[in-house]
């Protein structure tokens, strides 16, 4: 597929070169280290003689590669000059800069950020907000309007500080509550959820129960309250068995609310009722919820000279025993 795309793109104006490197060859190891290659195949987009490097995040079939790279080879932000332009360009998550003139610090900051984030997002700019499908049409800017196919459909931002603008785009481009499912169009939002540096709340419940609607509603209210501080995900326990198993949870503990911090520490509330969601998340934020550690059951009999220790008993058997303890850890 890559070679098919290469034959098409070689005749593009200007030509787009596709190259391949065997990163296992000793002579290429330094190059693989330079670009932090972790797995295969890894595809990088290089610009400006290799001074700029970005991960390729497009399709892997020939037609998809061709279309994606044609788009990547053009301007990072497309100028919207008509309502037809807006209709053709604004799909899914799309970021538009509205400006009184296409110059100045705000416009330059916007263009620079578009170049930096172009493999992750689509950008456009315009002098006329009336051409856009949603939002206040009398605004002349400068303002950034982010369109999205969920929640409030669009949101405006007026701070053109690059770091603040990038954070706004990252936080606004995922749903307030991400749905955990196998819909291919949802994969990009799941990827953003799991790659976020925020604490991650995950709520698994049975969608077919009478309490499901009330639980979903209360969970969304809490998600709105802590938006930007915690990322929120929801899933149907019937189709999320793999996720439950991964976190060491059981079906009889559903509805279950789990928060993962720094991808290491877990905090869990089992058999959740709707009116418990907000108080529990508040307690978590205030540091009042103990860490959840998966544990084998405490042995019913533990009278042998060598005691068996599990996560739930290590405090009593080891740390609070008042003795020196020689502890052997082994792989189950």
Res 332: pLDDT: 64
What's the whole-number average pLDDT of the chain?
91
**Domain chopping of the chain, boundaries:** 1-73, 78-173, 177-286, 296-331
Instruction: Give strand ranges (E) for 153-274.
Output: 154-157, 177-180, 199-205, 230-236, 256-261, 265-269
For the ranges 152-156, 235-239, 255-259, the lowest mean pLDDT is seen at 235-239
Q: What angle do CA 132, 134, 140 make, to 5 degrees?
A: 55
What confidence category does residue 95 fall into, taking pLDDT thresholds of 50, 70 and 90? very high
| Mean pLDDT to the nearest integer, 137-152 | 93
Check if CATH label 3.40.50.1100 holds for domain 78-173.
no
Measured on CA atoms in the order 84, 87, 89, 95, is the torsion positive or negative? positive
14-34 tens-digit pLDDT: 889 999 999 989 999 999 999
What confidence category does residue 163 fall into, taking pLDDT thresholds of 50, 70 and 90? very high
Check if CATH label 3.30.420.130 holds for domain 177-286.
no
306-330 tens-digit pLDDT: 999 998 899 999 999 999 999 999 8
**Is residue 232 a contact partner of residue 219, using CB atoms and an 8 Å limit?**
yes
Res 320: pLDDT: 94
**Is residue 106 a contact partner of residue 142, using CB atoms and an 8 Å limit?**
yes
| Mean pLDDT to the nearest integer, 33-42 | 89
Res 234: pLDDT: 96
Same fold, 1-73 and 78-173: yes
Q: Whole-prediction pTM value?
A: 0.72
Pick the CATH number of 1-73 from 3.10.580.10, 3.30.70.1520, 2.60.120.200, 3.40.30.10: 3.40.30.10
What confidence category does residue 267 fall into, taking pLDDT thresholds of 50, 70 and 90? very high
């Amino acid at each position: 597929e890559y070679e098919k795309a290469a034959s098409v793109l070689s005749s593009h104006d200007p030509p787009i070169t596709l190259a391949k490197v065997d990163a296992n060859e000793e002579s290429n190891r330094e190059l693989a280290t330079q670009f932090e290659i972790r797995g295969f195949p890894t595809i990088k987009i290089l610009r400006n003689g290799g001074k700029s490097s970005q991960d390729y995040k497009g399709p892997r079939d020939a037609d998809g590669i061709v279309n994606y790279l044609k788009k990547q080879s053009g301007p990072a932000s497309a100028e919207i000059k008509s309502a037809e332009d807006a209709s053709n360009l604004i799909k899914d998550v799309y970021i538009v800069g509205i400006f009184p003139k296409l110059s100045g610090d705000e416009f330059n900051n916007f263009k620079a950020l578009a170049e930096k984030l172009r493999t992750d997002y689509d950008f456009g700019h315009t002098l006329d907000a009336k051409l856009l499908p949603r939002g206040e049409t009398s605004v002349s800017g400068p303002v950034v309007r982010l369109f999205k196919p969920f929640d409030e459909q669009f949101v405006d931002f007026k701070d053109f500080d690059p770091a603040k603008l990038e954070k706004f785009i990252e936080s606004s481009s995922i749903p307030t509550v991400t749905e955990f499912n196998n819909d291919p169009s949802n994969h990009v939002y799941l990827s953003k959820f799991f790659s976020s540096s925020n604490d991650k709340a995950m709520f698994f419940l049975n969608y077919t129960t009478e309490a499901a609607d009330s639980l979903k509603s209360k969970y969304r209210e809490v998600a709105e309250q802590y938006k930007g501080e915690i990322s929120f995900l929801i899933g149907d326990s019937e189709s999320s068995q793999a996720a439950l198993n991964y976190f060491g949870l059981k079906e009889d503990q559903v509805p279950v609310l789990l928060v993962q911090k720094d991808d290491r520490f877990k905090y869990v509330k089992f058999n959740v009722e709707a009116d418990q969601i907000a108080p529990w998340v508040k307690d978590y934020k205030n540091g009042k919820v103990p860490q959840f550690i998966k544990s084998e059951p405490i042995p019913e009999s533990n009278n042998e000279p060598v005691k068996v220790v599990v996560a739930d008993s290590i405090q009593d058997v080891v740390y609070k025993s008042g003795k020196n303890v020689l502890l052997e850890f082994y792989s189950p």
